[in-house]
Amino acid sequence: MNRKWIIITITLTLLIGGLKASPAFASNGDLSQSLLQKFSLFRTNEHFAFTRIVNSILSFTDVSEYILPSKLVQSHHPEIQQLATELTLGLKTNEEKSKAIFKWVATNISYDAESYFRDPSNPRYYSSLETLRDKQALCSGYANLNAALHRSIGIEARVVYGEGHAWNEVKISNSWIEQDPTYASGGLDMINKSFIPQFNEQYFSSVDLRREGIFPW
């Protein structure tokens, strides 16, 4: 880790430590939440080790890392928040809200077949905001957008991976439910190298692959 990241790490450690120790922070929830959000945005796939450090620091607070935004899961962005609010308007339970979000992602995002077939061994990462605006992505984009929409309305969601694929785990009624918005969206025509949209609701609560780990953002 270079000098720049050492300095930032020390600064974050001292400042977040203040969230617990300082009466000023303790008496101002908005300020502490704002600081946590800013620190959380350092989490990225580009600085994996540093992301681990930030998550370790966040563990000293009462806020789950899976409710906060990151560089790829931009749950704080107004476009993400507005869509999530519209999708869940009038819905009462977190399961109902989660189903609405999941279905929207699976039926409004197209799989980026061109990118996949161009270089399947080196897939790119898509942020939640990129995916929302472009309306297409690989599995990382589906999972990041699904996570961002959930987090923006206060539902814990994380991005997991296994067997060359990414999907989600969403916390509903104190249990982590596996969701795969990519597989739910349809499939690939391997001959014509194109995406065939076909919504499959079963992937709201099940996946086909074995989880190998959790992305730290």
Give the list of residues 6+ apart from residue 11 with CB closer than 8 angstroms, or none.
none
Q: Which residue segments constitute the domains of the chain, with CATH numbers given?
A: 3-63 (no CATH), 78-214 (3.10.620.30)
Got the DSSP string for the chain? --HHHHHHHHHHHHHHHHHHH-HHHHT-HHHHHHHHHHHHTT--GGGHHHHHHHHHHHTTSSS-GGGS--SSS-TTSHHHHHHHHHHHTT--SHHHHHHHHHHHHHHH-EE-HHHHHH-TTSPPP--HHHHHHHSEE-HHHHHHHHHHHHHHTT--EEEEEETTEEEEEEEETTEEEEE-HHHHHEEEETTTTEEEE---GGGGS--SS---EE---
- Between 6 and 88, the higher pLDDT residue: 88
Residue 19 has pLDDT above 80, yes or no: no
CA 42 to chain centre: 14
Mean pLDDT of the chain: 84
Residue 58 reports pLDDT greater than 80 = no
pLDDT at position 31 is 39
As a whole number, mean pLDDT of residues 187-202 equals 97
pLDDT digits (tens, 9 = 90+) for 142-161: 999 999 999 999 999 999 99
pLDDT given for residue 204 in this prediction: 98
Q: Please, which pLDDT band fits residue 90 given cuts at 50, 70 and 90? A: very high
Q: Which residue has the tokens 């560089």?
A: 71
User: Predicted confidence band at 26 (pLDDT cuts at 50, 70, 90)?
Assistant: very low
Supply 176's token pair: 């982590």
pLDDT above 80: residue 85: yes
Name the phi and psi angles at 92, rounded to 5: -100, -45
Which residue has tokens 């009466």? 23
What is the tens place of the pLDDT at every residue in 96-117? 999 999 999 999 999 999 999 9
What span, in angstroms and rounded, lies between the C-alpha atoms of 54 and 8?
10
Task: Find, among 184, 145, 146, 182, the residue nearest to 162 by Cα.
Answer: 182
- 120 has a pLDDT exceeding 90: no
**pLDDT attached to residue 64:** 81
From the list 136, 146, 154, the residue with the least C-alpha distance to 207 is 146
Q: What is the pLDDT of residue 63?
A: 72
